[in-house]
Structure 1
């Protein structure tokens, strides 16, 4: 069995990524884990044949967040003075949201179980979230006497709104998949046995589109989180100009008039 912290299986135009630390319920800790996100995402971005990715967890959990045993023992990221811990976070877990911010490939979180603390934030870093009916979510940092150190207070309000994000972060309450769907944290809930089929089918529908245009669309969606309308329109105009000059655009228009499925090459 592989000891890699994140498994990567390429299925045609789709990359299936699996957090591979079931013994810790896929806790986010250690240089090996942090580096794996960076290296895998760089690999996916460098390969234009990869048009979508799915992220899930091995075992019963999606991701349990930080390693509480390391918190107790004040080891890893949690050791040292306040200044040293801040530096550990910058050099450690905060590399993950930055890697997601750089990732050009659309990515879906297939939340197969508990997504707790940093695990909830990890799901929020993905572009789309779908959940098994048995999944649970919690922005639970306050329950262990800390704050969301991985960007959760930036991510969560942009998905569920300021009031609901504040309620989740300030209470630390856990919610089930049905509630996550109701508040918009996930876009759909399915039976556990159907989760991966649903996630991969969604990824396939995304991957049926031109790869460069998918990446540009994701870029605009990311920019919309913080930019103004004028900035969004300027960026859209520039990218649209490039899109109109791609071979894939010409192929899409030709296929439309010929009433056949288009064949995209990424050019």
Structure 2
């Protein structure tokens, strides 16, 4: 873990992880591993009862960086590496025991949406944007979203987000249950910490026990889902449509997909 990846702080029984890769906070194996390691560290500290996950810059997390597809960016390398894959690190996040509140101040896109959904709750503002933009890239959803998104907003709403790749505003996210709290951007972190502090007031043993019951086998289901998601991503990564999806997104124009 390095200072430029994440910052960790504590205030009473609440810990904070801040992603520090502004402005867009693209993820890669290193970043997801750092977050997972920090959360596992909190699990070993009985005084920490809840965690706030937030980000510096204008985006919460814009997912993997596909802006330079010919250069082999670190995120792309992670998506091709099945032996030390960032999804394995993502499963570590889902296996952590303490409740997580995500403060989403801007874009949570693709795998960044997956990271937001690894949290128990999301606090958002009107400026937040949530998108599962995989089909617009000619790609398959990842980061366990095929499990987590339907559970939070329902199967049909998840299908709508997946099939259209549309961006959902903070207000829309709040209406569909994707965001639990909607507040102003200026008050976002305070609201996230207030929710975490309210959680932390409860019995730590009762809290851990209740969360373990309600989460159930979620981590195992995410693990199984990411294996399938990765296989589909590996297959689609080789297609002309994926290359066109990346190009058209970078060039901010409609894609010309050909179905192969």
Q: Shorter chain as normaliser: what TM range?
A: 0.7 to 0.9
Q: State the Cα distance separating 1:92 from its structure 2 match.
A: 2.6
Question: CA offsets per residue over residues 7-56 of structure 1, 9 Å max, x none?
Answer: 11111110111111004x11111x42132022101110000100000001
Q: Distance in 2 between matches of 1:39 and 1:48?
A: 16
Q: 1:191 aligns with which of 180, 184, 193?
A: 184
Q: Distance in 1 between matches of 2:154 and 2:130?
A: 16
Tell me how large the CA RMSD over aligned residues is: 2.1
Q: State the Cα distance separating 1:90 from its structure 2 match.
A: 5.8
Rg larger for: 1
| 1:159 corresponds to 2:152 | yes
Question: CA offsets per residue over residues 100-136 of structure 1, 9 Å max, x none?
Answer: 2211010001101111111111111100111012101
Q: State the Cα distance separating 1:95 from its structure 2 match.
A: 2.6
Q: 2:50 aligns with which of 42, 49, 52?
A: 52
The answer as to whether partners of 1:129 and 1:187 remain within 8 angstroms in 2 is yes
Match of 2:103 in 1: 110
Q: Distance in 1 between matches of 2:198 and 2:153?
A: 25
The answer as to whether partners of 2:59 and 2:107 remain within 8 angstroms in 1 is yes
Judged with a 3 Å threshold, the aligned counterparts in structure 2 of structure 1 residues 159 and 39 are, in CA distance, closer, same or farther, namely same
Q: State the Cα distance separating 1:141 from its structure 2 match.
A: 1.1
Match of 1:216 in 2: 209
The answer as to whether partners of 1:34 and 1:95 remain within 8 angstroms in 2 is no
Question: CA offsets per residue over residues 207-252 of structure 1, 9 Å max, x none?
Answer: 011112211111111117699xxxxxxxxxxxxxxxxxxxxxxxxx
Match of 1:68 in 2: 66
| 1:141 corresponds to 2:120 | no
Match of 1:169 in 2: 162
Match of 1:28 in 2: 27
| 1:41 corresponds to 2:34 | no
Q: State the Cα distance separating 1:75 from its structure 2 match.
A: 3.9
Match of 2:228 in 1: none
Q: Distance in 2 between matches of 1:89 and 1:103?
A: 22
Q: Distance in 1 between matches of 2:101 and 2:111?
A: 17
| 1:6 corresponds to 2:6 | yes
| 1:100 corresponds to 2:93 | yes
Match of 1:241 in 2: none
**1:18 is paired with a residue of what secondary structure?**
strand
Q: Distance in 2 between matches of 1:18 and 1:184?
A: 24
Match of 1:250 in 2: none
| 1:179 corresponds to 2:178 | no
TM-score scaled by structure 2?
0.78
The answer as to whether partners of 1:5 and 1:19 remain within 8 angstroms in 2 is yes
Aligned length: 219
Match of 1:246 in 2: none
Q: Which has the higher contact order (CA 8 A, sep 6+)?
A: 2
TM-score scaled by structure 1?
0.76
